[in-house]
């Protein structure tokens, strides 16, 4: 048990240590064409959004972070308090440890105790069975379940998985077996057209592309290795912007979440412009609560709601789905990505 707790606390420490990472999520390469007449007022703007059957009052949420240690218990309690006060949805970190070591379960259950009426998302790895998925949902009385896929992290993790043959089969069984929506989520390496098609083929209709640009789990696990031999893999994967472009063709078949290095409402707007229906944020919220405390974090989130409303007013978008209809210009890097990946990016 101690080893697992140490690993969870190492993850928290290393994630915060790389907060100032200069890696880009690619969203700064998305520019809206300014129009002088927006022809709406701020009161017209609606921030609610839909992910499958999940209704979110706000289009950004607290994405999966932690659980499984005493330190993680405190962090999850603080995050749940913030989620309750700001009415944001919240996902927890992988509950796998709680299924193996029931004494750690309280570090996850505190989220539901703190926020009894909130939209809570449980989280489990793709190697788990449908039976474990049901337990993960029951543990939190969760409204949805995230299944995270993280092959690079597992391979660099000294004690990680080495067999990935059943992941798609497991996810398919979970989708068929549980009564709440299933979200499949990368962990910062982005998604491809091919991956998205595989997920659609097994019935997944909410996908978090979770691109490169935020917390880097290759870096985190490499730091835990004696020889740190995987330094050369630190830029592995697709950025958040590239991943949303990969998803472009499938926007009518699934609802997409953007995560990976989202730091401000302009990043959110860019993600929505590329077709995301919601944005998940982890590193920024972790940094907030560790360095500024709950009250300042709550004030920041309320400010973001207002700022996003202003940005949507500026481009004349009354709803989240209106944003992707607005003209945008992509950077040379992103247009080159589209060209080489045969992505015909155009607006609805």
**Range list of β-strands (E), the chain:** 30-32, 49-51, 54-56, 60-62, 90-91, 120-125, 144-149, 182-186, 206-208, 255-259, 278-281, 328-330
- Report pLDDT digits (tens) over 207-247: 999 999 998 999 999 999 999 999 999 999 999 999 999 99
pLDDT band at 257 (very low <50, low <70, confident <90, very high): very high
Residue 64 annotated as binding? Answer: yes
188 inside domain: yes
Is the per-residue pLDDT at 3 higher than 80? no
DSSP assignment, residue 39?
-
Residue 331 marked ligand-binding: no
**Domain-embedded: residue 243:** yes
Determine if residue 154 is labeled as part of a ligand binding site. yes
Residue 237 counted as an annotated binding residue: no
What gap in Å lies between CA 258 and CA 60, rounded to an integer? 9
Residue 326 marked ligand-binding: no
The number of domains in the chain is 1
Confidence bin at 68 (pLDDT 50/70/90):
confident
Q: 179 among the known binding-site residues? A: no
CB-CB neighbours of 305 under 10 Å: 18
Q: Is 66 annotated as a binding residue?
A: yes
Please name the residues in contact with 13: beta carbons below 8 A apart, sequence gap of 6 or more. Answer: none
pLDDT digits (tens, 9 = 90+) for 128-144: 999 999 999 999 999 99
In a domain, 301, yes or no: yes
What's the mean pLDDT in 77-101?
97
Contacts of 204 (CB under 8 A, 6+ apart): 171, 175, 182, 184, 254
Annotated binding residue at 261? Answer: yes
Q: Is 7 annotated as a binding residue?
A: yes
Q: Is residue 345 part of a domain?
A: no
CATH of the domain at 75: 3.20.20.70
Structural domain span for residue 145: 2-340
Cα end-to-end span (Å), the chain: 51
263 is in an annotated binding site: yes
Minimum mean pLDDT range among 223-227, 300-304, 331-335: 223-227
- The answer to the question of whether 41 is labelled as a binding residue is no
In a domain, 347, yes or no: no
Does a structural domain hold residue 348?
A: no
Q: What is the pLDDT of residue 280?
A: 98
Look up the pTM and report it.
Answer: 0.94
Q: Is 262 annotated as a binding residue?
A: yes
pLDDT tens digits along 145-183? 999 999 999 999 999 999 999 999 999 999 999 999 999
pLDDT at 43 over 80: yes
pLDDT tens digits, one per residue of 104-117: 999 999 999 999 99
With respect to residue 65, please indicate whether it lies within any of the assigned structural domains.
Answer: yes
Q: Is 346 a member of any domain?
A: no
């Amino acid at each position: 048990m101690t080893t697992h707790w140490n690993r969870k606390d190492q993850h928290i420490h290393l994630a915060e240590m790389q907060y100032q990472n200069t890696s880009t999520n690619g969203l700064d390469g998305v520019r809206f064409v300014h129009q002088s007449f927006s022809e709406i007022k701020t009161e017209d703007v609606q921030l609610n959004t839909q992910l499958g059957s999940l209704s979110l009052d706000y289009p950004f949420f607290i994405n999966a972070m932690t659980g499984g240690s005493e330190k993680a218990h405190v962090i999850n309690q603080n995050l749940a308090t913030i989620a309750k006060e700001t009415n944001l949805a919240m996902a927890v970190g992988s509950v796998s440890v709680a299924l193996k070591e029931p004494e750690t379960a309280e570090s996850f259950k505190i989220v539901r105790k703190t926020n009894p009426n909130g939209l809570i998302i449980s989280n489990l790895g793709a190697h788990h069975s449908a039976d474990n998925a049901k337990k993960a949902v029951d543990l939190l009385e969760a409204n949805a379940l995230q299944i995270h896929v993280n092959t690079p992290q597992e391979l660099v993790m000294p004690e990680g998985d080495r067999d990935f043959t059943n992941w798609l089969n497991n996810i398919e069984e979970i989708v068929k077996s549980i009564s709440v929506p299933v979200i499949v989520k990368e962990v910062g390496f982005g998604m491809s057209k091919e991956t998205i098609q595989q997920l659609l083929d097994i019935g997944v209709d909410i996908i978090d592309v979770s691109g490169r640009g935020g917390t880097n789990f290759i870096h985190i696990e490499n730091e835990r290795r004696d020889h740190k031999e995987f330094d050369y893999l630190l830029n592995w994967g697709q950025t958040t912007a590239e991943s949303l472009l990969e998803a472009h063709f499938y926007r009518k078949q699934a609802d997409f979440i953007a995560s990976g290095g989202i730091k401000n409402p302009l990043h959110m707007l860019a993600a929505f412009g590329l077709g995301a229906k919601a944005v998940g944020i982890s590193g920024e919220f972790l940094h907030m609560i560790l360095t500024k405390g709950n009250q300042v974090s709550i004030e920041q989130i309320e400010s973001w709601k207002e700022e996003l409303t202003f940005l949507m007013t500026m481009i004349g978008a009354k709803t989240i789905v209106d944003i992707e209809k607005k003209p945008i210009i992509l950077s040379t890097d992103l247009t080159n990505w589209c060209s080489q990946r045969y992505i015909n990016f155009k607006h609805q």
